[in-house]
């Protein structure tokens, strides 16, 4: 199972929210590049970079942070937040992201999302499934679509989507453990997908459980910044499997 640390950006700084609320923000570091370097130095190879300003504004804003990190490190970066137009994807990829995570457009304009899959390739586009009480949330989790997760995933997997980042918004930033039952249900319903668990990871035990149920990867955010999980522990987990 791949381990993917997260850096969430507001005003160019490294922050975390609780349950997606911009009113419940904690700033952890003023220099995301330094944080990214620490991840790379610990042997981690991937990074989930989220433009929270962009998610709120419906356009990519923090691409300069992406460019600085891709210039300073060799991390494999997937970038999400504010991707609403093809031009946003061009900016993201031109500034070094290997993949882009797209959620809102996949819910609001599925045909456009499928056009992007065809244009950029299914290996470069990750489907973001952010869930509130089983429904797909959009626009920085401020709105909820009519899609259930079953409908949403079925719609896009038939178009070739390979990788899905699934976040239970109620768990995000709460350090209460991931939504194991939800992920089990998803993997049972769609056994061929590469499922990336996001939200709620609070301990190494959580990571072991996610690996045991067959998750392709896990995103870790607040647990690192709150020193619940050390980079040395993540490095050791990587070596084990």
For 188-226, the DSSP string reads HHSTTSEEEEES---SHHHHHHHHHTT-SEEEE-HHHHT
**Residue 171, CA distances (Å) to 31, 89, 105, 189 in order:** 26, 28, 23, 22
Which domain CATH number covers 145? 3.20.20.70
pLDDT of residue 175: 73
206 is a catalytic site residue = no
Out of 51, 53, 88, 130, the active site residue is 130
pLDDT of residue 87: 97
Q: Count the domains in the chain.
A: 1
Where are any strands of DSSP class E within the chain?
A: 2-10, 13-18, 21-29, 46-51, 76-80, 99-102, 125-132, 135-138, 143-148, 163-168, 194-198, 217-220
Domain span at residue 183 reads: 2-240
Q: pLDDT truncated to tens, each residue of the chain (241 aa)?
A: 999 999 999 999 999 887 778 888 899 999 999 999 999 999 999 999 999 999 889 999 999 999 999 999 999 999 999 999 999 999 999 999 999 999 989 999 999 999 999 999 999 999 999 998 778 887 655 667 689 999 999 999 999 999 999 998 876 666 789 999 999 999 999 999 999 999 999 999 999 999 999 999 999 999 999 999 999 999 999 876 5
130 is a catalytic site residue = yes
Q: Could you tell me the pTM of the whole model?
A: 0.93
pLDDT of residue 140: 57
The β-bridge partners of 165 are 128, 196
């Amino acid at each position: 199972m791949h381990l993917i640390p997260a850096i969430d950006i507001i005003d160019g700084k490294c922050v975390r929210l609780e349950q997606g609320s911009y009113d419940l923000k904690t700033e952890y570091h003023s220099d995301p590049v330094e944080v990214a370097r620490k991840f790379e130095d610990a042997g981690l190879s991937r990074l989930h970079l989220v433009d929270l300003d962009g998610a709120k504004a419906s356009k990519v804003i923090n691409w300069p942070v992406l460019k600085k990190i891709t210039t300073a490190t060799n991390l494999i970066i997937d970038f999400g937040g504010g991707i609403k137009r093809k031009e946003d994807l061009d900016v993201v990829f031109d500034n070094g992201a290997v993949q882009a995570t797209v959620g809102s457009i996949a819910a609001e304009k599925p045909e456009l999302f499928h056009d992007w899959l065809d244009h950029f390739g299914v290996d470069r586009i990750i489907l973001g499934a952010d869930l509130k009480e089983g429904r797909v949330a959009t626009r920085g989790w401020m709105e909820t679509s009519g899609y259930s997760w079953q409908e949403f995933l079925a719609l896009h997997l038939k178009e070739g989507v390979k990788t899905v980042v699934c976040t239970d918004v109620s768990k995000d930033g709460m350090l209460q453990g991931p939504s194991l039952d939800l992920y089990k249900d998803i993997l049972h319903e769609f056994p061929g997908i590469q499922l990336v668990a996001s939200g709620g990871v609070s301990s190494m035990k959580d990571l072991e459980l996610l690996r045991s149920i067959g998750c392709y990867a896990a995103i870790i955010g607040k647990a690192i910044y709150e020193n619940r999980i050390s980079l040395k522990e993540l490095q050791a987990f990587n070596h084990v499997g």
